[in-house]
Amino acid sequence: MASVTEIGQAIKRVLSVVGDTVARETGFTKRQSKLTGAKFVQALVLGWLNKPEATLGELSQAAATVGVPISPQGLAQRFGPEAAALLAQVLNAALSPIIAAAPVAIPLLQRFNGVIVQDSSIISLPDALVQVWKGCGGSDGHSGAALKLQVRFDLLTGTLQGPLLEPGRTNDRGSALQAAPLAPRALRIADLGYFSLAQLRAFDAQDAYFLTRLSLQTALFDPAGQRLSLSTILEAAQRGQVDRPILMGAPERLPVRLLAMGVPQEVADQRRRKVYAEARAKGETPSQVRLTYADWTIVVTNVPQEQLSLSEAMVLMRVRWQIELLFKLWKSYGKVDEWRTENPWRILCEIYAKLIAMVIQHWLLLIGCWAYPDRSLVKAAQTVRGCAPMIGSALAGYIDLAVPIEQIQRCLAAGCRMNRRRKQPNTYQLLLNLPEVA
């Protein structure tokens, strides 16, 4: 479990030690200056953490807080390729500490050695940055520069892997994080963009678990090796439920459980509307089979039945959206994909600095409120942002860094909770009340 001391050491290393270490390597520091690499990083990270829409004037105030008076114009002159390289290396350094909270008090999650949701998010960039981060191109003549954030998020201990930065054109199945190993008895939940029989077999060989929607083109076989029809299985389902052992993949024959549950009519209708919309956009007609499958949630897993029931698996599939909420926290509230400049290097600096801020914010959330299943990360992040100037004062040596961290810890423990909902229960309510959902 992370402690105040551990969090403080990680913040100091990232915002002080690393910045000065790599400043000369990147060419940011060429001669003696009061604006060292560390002070530059601190001013941007804490300035944008405190106020994601901060102007140059407000960032210069943040610089003064960390002990370096500099004008907005002087700060603006430092944004260049060297500054971007400096911040990129600091961000990489921020990804190495494994900061974990005590496991949250949700029995279903505690059955596993981690419940890891994995996904990616795109940040579109100006065309001038296409040589740095290539996107997928575009039909409108634009080069399509884009940055993809790859993230693994452990819902048990809050541990982050990532954000790993990759070109926007990188396929999720080809991501470096896709092949990163899992701990034994950890469970990974990811969407179809990560579906790979070879990778699922690799997880199985690591004694790790997976829970994923089934790619409908996958060949299915019974344990004796006879080819199965998914449509026939669903038609024969009792009470709209399926839970049976199968072999998945023609060459792989990976042993898994096929799980399926019928969905309410309004959900099926909503899915079919989405299928029709996607088909229209491609100038195609959706197949009848795909429209029929909209009546079902169909997943596969290698978790034994005695460890995970069908109804529990369906609830766990819903927790995958927690990583979408994390991306929303970073984008809608942290503004990592927004800027107020046309200078491409300043844009990159802002993105990198804000991502560093989001990582540090996450560490502080873990120590303050992760233990509570009903925590509100949005409310907690507001508290962390308000304490950013105090962290700057601590890094400048005016107070001990433990002071703001302990204050954040107390404030988050005292509040930052979600209200219970009856009609549309929060995810934590579903996880804690599975008998009512089964």
Q: Are residues 357 and 404 in the same domain?
A: yes
Q: Are residues 212 and 298 in the same domain?
A: yes
pLDDT reported for residue 434: 67
For 152, phi and psi rounded to 5 degrees?
A: -110, 135
Mean pLDDT along residues 207-234: 94
- Alpha-carbon span 34 to 68, nearest angstrom: 6
Q: Are residues 355 and 305 in the same domain?
A: no
Cα separations in angstroms, 301 against 130, 201, 294, 332: 39, 11, 20, 33
**pTM value?**
0.92
Q: Which of 57-61, 142-146, 187-191, 342-346 is predicted with the least confidence, judged by mean pLDDT?
A: 142-146
Write down the H helix ranges in 16-174: 18-23, 37-50, 56-65, 72-76, 81-94, 107-110
pLDDT reported for residue 237: 87
State which residues form the domain around 27: 4-97+335-414
Structure tokens at 162: 């990532």
Q: How many domains does the chain have?
A: 2
For 131, phi and psi rounded to 5 degrees?
A: -75, -15
Write down the H helix ranges in 78-207: 81-94, 107-110, 197-205
pLDDT: is 1 or 223 the higher one?
223
How confident is the model over 162-196, as pLDDT tens digits? 999 999 999 999 999 999 999 999 999 999 999 99
- 172 assigned to some structural domain: no
- 340 assigned to some structural domain: yes
Mean pLDDT of the chain: 91
Model confidence at 266: pLDDT above 60: yes
- 105 assigned to some structural domain: no
Q: Which of 28-32, 342-346, 419-423 is predicted with the least confidence, judged by mean pLDDT?
A: 419-423
Mean pLDDT along residues 50-76: 96
- 389 assigned to some structural domain: yes
- 305 assigned to some structural domain: yes
Pick the closest to residue 359 from 19, 90, 26, 78 (CA basis).
Answer: 90
Model confidence at 141: pLDDT above 90: no
pLDDT confidence tier of residue 1, bands split at 50, 70 and 90: confident
Mean pLDDT along residues 71-79: 95
Model confidence at 139: pLDDT above 60: no
Model confidence at 437: pLDDT above 50: no
Model confidence at 142: pLDDT above 50: no
Q: Are residues 310 and 221 in the same domain?
A: yes
The 3-state DSSP composition of the chain as helix, strand, coil percent (nearest 5) reads: 45, 15, 40
pLDDT reported for residue 94: 95
* Whether the Cβ atoms of residue 71 and residue 55 lie closer than 8 Å to each other: no
What angle (nearest 5°) sits at the alpha carbon of residue 416, between those of residues 413 and 418?
125
Local structure of residue 417 (DSSP, 8 states): B
For strand 187-190 and strand 160-167, is the pairing parallel, antiparallel, or unpaired?
Answer: unpaired
Contacts by 415-422, CB closer than 8 A, 24 or more apart: 415/379, 415/383, 416/368, 416/369, 416/375, 416/376, 416/379, 416/380, 416/383, 417/372, 417/374, 417/375, 417/376, 417/379, 418/374, 418/375, 418/376, 420/374
pLDDT reported for residue 140: 43
